[in-house]
Each structure stands twice: as C-alpha cells, then as structure tokens.
Chains A and B, each alone.
Chain A
Amino acid sequence: MFNYLIKRLLSTIPVLIGISLLLFFMLRMLPGDPAQVLAGQMATPQEIENIRHQLGLDRPIYEQYAVYMSHLVRFDLGRSARTQNPVTVEIWARLPNTILLAVVAITLACLFGIPAGIISAVRPYSWIDYLVTMSALFGISMPVFWLGLMLGQHVILPSFTLAAFVVAFIARMTRSTMLETLSQDFTTTARSKGLKEKVVVVKHALKNALIPIITVVGLQFGSLLAGAVLTETVFAWPGLGRLLYDSISARDYPMIQGVILIFGLLYIFVNLVVDFIYAFVDPRIRYD
C-alpha cells in the first residue's frame, strides 16, 4: 500500500513538468514583445535591449525555462501587472473562498445526486427514474452563468448554482453503476439469503458501486473549478475564478498563469486523493 502511494505520487511529476512547459510556452506565445511593452512606445532600441537583458529574454530558451522553473519551485510566480502585489499573495488570499464554494457545492451535489441515482436504479424505467434522468440531462445542459443570473444574488446561491451541474453527473453515474451491481450475482445471493431490500441496496449494491461514483465526484471537482470562473463572476464572489476573470480582462499575464497553475495543481491533488480513496474503499485493489 505504502509503495503504491509513493508510486502514485511520483507519477504526478511528469504531469507537473508538462504543466510548467505548457504555461512557459503560453508566455512565449503571447502576441507582442514584453520588453517593448514594458519600455513603452517612446523607448529607444538601446533601452528595449537593456530591458530584454534584465528580463533574461536574450538568453537561450532552455536557460529561460531553467530560470522560470527555479522561480516556480520556490513558489515565486512573479508580480501582478495590475496590482504589483506578488501573485502568490493574491492567490493565497482568494483560495479559501473558492475551496469553500467548491466543497459546499460538491457536498450538496452528493447529498442530492447519489440518492437520486440510487432511487432511479432501484426502480428503473419508472416515472421517478424518468424524472431523475431528465432532470440530470437538464442540469448538464444548463449554462451555469445563466442559472446564476436567473436565480438572483443570495449567499447560498453560488454553491447551489455550481452544484446543479455536478449533481446531474453524479446522479447519472450512480444510476448506471447501481443498475449494474443490482443485477450481479452477489446481489441475488444477498437477496436469496433473505436480507432486507434496504440492506441489499445499501450494503451490497451501493458499496460495490462506490468506485465509479468517487471517480466522477473527483472529476467533477475540476468542472467545479472551471464553473467557478463563471459562477464567481456572476455572483461577484471573491475567489480564484473571479480573480482569473479580472486578470484576463486586465491582460495581467503573470496572474493568469498563476491562477491557472493553481487550478491545475488543485485538480491533480484531488485526483491523487481519489486514487488513494480507491485503495481504502476496495480491498481488491492492491497496487504492487
């Protein structure tokens, strides 16, 4: 088990390097010359050259990447072009708000989505199943930002708006995996032993359906982060999403990169946690 955890942790390293490369080249792909922008319209070629030297832009690309990485591993993401504050400070200040929003939303989504999925799997093709399935499709197709606009501006609503999207996925996944486990031999055995239906559904079918459900909850956490950009903008919620929106509007590239990096890290972290939970939930999983 311990070996597995280590292995799994190490496997995130290539992804982290990939993300750093992606962000680094995003910076290079920016239209315009950053030295020219910093120097202003009136600068002489010599001044621009000086700034280029200061920024290290005259060095070979691999050296620039090395410098960028050495800053990155020290959590130095540069300064915001808009406020001049260090990017990490601003992100750190907003992070709890977004996490709060996401955690409340995912909790709400599980509270509604899992029972809805179970009910519709226990009574497949009944009116209640159709109701759940249709509501789920409606939820998936709903533009979160529009729902936010329509719902108005209250405190619980950002979470509710975000949850509406995720609840649909969770309900669908719960339904389809429960349908499968409910038709398997061990469920039939449990029933023929004379166990109560409730026990069969919860202790036997649900327990075995948990892994895909946990997977989808983890993956949906990512959608929540993406949805947060839209939802936080609609509700003026002071989180990372709103920060990203403001930074994009102001073309504040160091901040944009920083926030996107943090979103990526959060997502990887959640998926890591999900993988660890598998090992605890399912005794058959022994990663050697």
Chain B
Amino acid sequence: MTEIKENPVCHPVQRVAENRFRRVWAKLKRNKAALVGAFLILVYVLSAFTAPVLFPGNPSAPNLIKSLESPTFRDPLGTDELGRSILGRIIYGSRISLIIAVGVVLVGIVFGIPLGLISGYYGGKIDFGIQRITDTMLAFPGFLLALALVSVLGVGVKNTVISIGISMVPLYIRLVRGCVLSVRQEDYVEAARAVGTRDVVILARHILPNVMVPITVQTSLSMGTAILFAAGLGFLGIGVQPPTPEWGAMLGSARSYLFNAPHVATFPGIAIFLAVLSFNLLGDGLRDALDPRFKI
C-alpha cells in the first residue's frame, strides 16, 4: 500500500555531521526557490532588527492630515486611515510577526519534543494518555483551536503566541513520537540500554538526533503557519490589537476603506503572503535537501 509520505523519514545518527552539512548546503544551493525563501526571510529579519533606523519615528502615531493618501515618494506604500505610513507599519509589523512565529515554535518545541519522546519511548499507559489528548486536540483544525483558546485567554501578543503555540504542540508530539517508534528498536538503542545507560541519556544522545531533521522542516513550515494564523486572529480583531502594527490587524481595519483606498489592504496582505511563502519555500527546500527519499 502506498504510504502517506507527509512525515519526512527519520534518519539514523551520522557522526560525519560536517560532511552532511556540506552536502545539504550544496543541495539547498541548487534549489532556487528555497534560496529565494531564505533571502526573503533574511530581508524580514533585517527589517525587524533595523526598524527604528529604516523608519524613524513612531509607526503608530496618527497624522490625520495625511489620511488615506495614495503611494507617494515620501510614503512609497501610501498612508492608512490615520495618516500613518503603511511601509513603516509593515516594517515594524515584521517584528511582531517574527516574534510571534518564534514564540509559537518555541512553545511547540518545548512541550512537543519531550512529550513526543516520552510517549514514543515508554509506550504503555503514558503513551495512551498523551495520544488521547493529542487526538482530542487534533480533532480541531489548528486555526479553530487557536481561535477557541484566544477567545478564552484574551487578546494581545502573549496570548496569541500561547494560543497558536498550544495548537502546534500536538503536531510536534506526533512527529517526534513517530520517529521515536521507528528508531526505538534499532541496535544502537538496544546496545545503549544493554550497557545500562540511563533513559534520559538514551533519549538525549541516541534518539533525539534522529528527530532533528523532521523537526527542522516542521519548524520552518510552522513559522509560516504561525504568521498566517496570527494574521487571521489579528484580522478578526481577537489577536494583536491596534494601534500595534500587526499585519492582520492592519488588514482588518483596512476593510472599511476597501473601495476608496484599496492600497491600504493590498500591501499588508502582500507582506503576509511573502512571509508565509518564504518559510514554506525554505521548508520545502530543506525537506528535499535533508531527505533524499522525499520529493515533492
């Protein structure tokens, strides 16, 4: 039967790490789409770090005289309903989106990896318990789960990160557990156990390295998803709140001016689209480069 190949195959540990890195890099270099993705991510990261230099002044300070101006030389992307530079807000918005994306994958990794390792390695009742909780969480599409959580936790950057982060945890648990199951019976794990190595050491030194490849791919893709989800919550008005320059919230308030000033909605949308696209391009490229058997 044809298997579903959405999960990248878990690799055994390779001691020749440096060689491997070179090989992966060589492959990644040939993948133009992945390079474009990496380049775009770099642009976003740089603009997040240098925002105050690129755009001096407060991006949230209203300037009503300049309300809803079309793009000009001074404001290359025009101004919004409060006369604020859209370019400036998009640049500052990359800070918010990247902070959220990093926060979300951290939540996913910090909770998902240990729980996945424990679930896969020990099996039995612990595994059963963790898997039923995972089932329940996966019974909801990720965005809905985040939406449900944020409706309870409340708005803001922190709660957006927690909500989306929690909705990502089951994905990491599943991914890690699957990998652990596939390497748990390998000879080197048996050997380590036979000489009396402690479980913690086996998990950290012999099993965890096998999980790193799928985790890397998943993390790149998750960053894209996190940005998309955060923008969705912001757009609905239950994520990051105005006047904080968050792309989704910018789109949300632009809805009212869609007909007389379409540029207000166009550019934040492009910013979201390109950010998500770049993480997806890189994630896909990494998957191809890290796993020769997986092609998409």
Contacts and interface: CB of A to CB of B under 8 A. Distances in A.
**How big is chain A's contact interface, by range?**
35 or more
A30 B140 contact: no
Given A14-B132, A15-B136, A180-B2, A222 B141 contact: yes
Interface string B149-160: 101101000000
Interface residues on B, range: 35 or more
Interface string A133-155: 11001101111011101100000
A283 to B, nearest CB: 11
B143 interface: yes
Interface stretch (A40-48, A69-77, A83-91, A256-264): A256-264
B276 A141 contact: yes
Q: At the interface, is chain B mostly helix, strand, loop or mixed?
A: helix
Nearest to B236: A245
A286 B38 CA distance: 46
Contact of A15 (B33, B135, B295): B135
A31 interface: yes
Interface in B230-289: 231-232, 235-238, 248, 251, 254-255, 258, 265-266, 268-269, 272-274, 276-277, 280-281, 284
Contact of B151 (A226, A256, A268): A256
Given A18-B136, A176-B296, A142 B273 contact: yes
A208 interface: yes
Interface in A15-32: 15, 18-19, 21-22, 26, 29-31
Contact of B276 (A143, A173, A215, A222): A143
A212 interface: yes
Nearest to A230: B232
B143 to A, nearest CB: 4
Contacts of A249: 237
Contacts of A170: none
Nearest to B154: A31
A122 to B, nearest CB: 15
B269 A229 contact: no
Contact of B136 (A19, A150, A177): A19
Contact of A149 (B251, B273, B284): B251
Contacts of A177: 2, 5
B142 interface: yes
Contact of B277 (A22, A137, A179, A264): A137
B284 A137 contact: yes
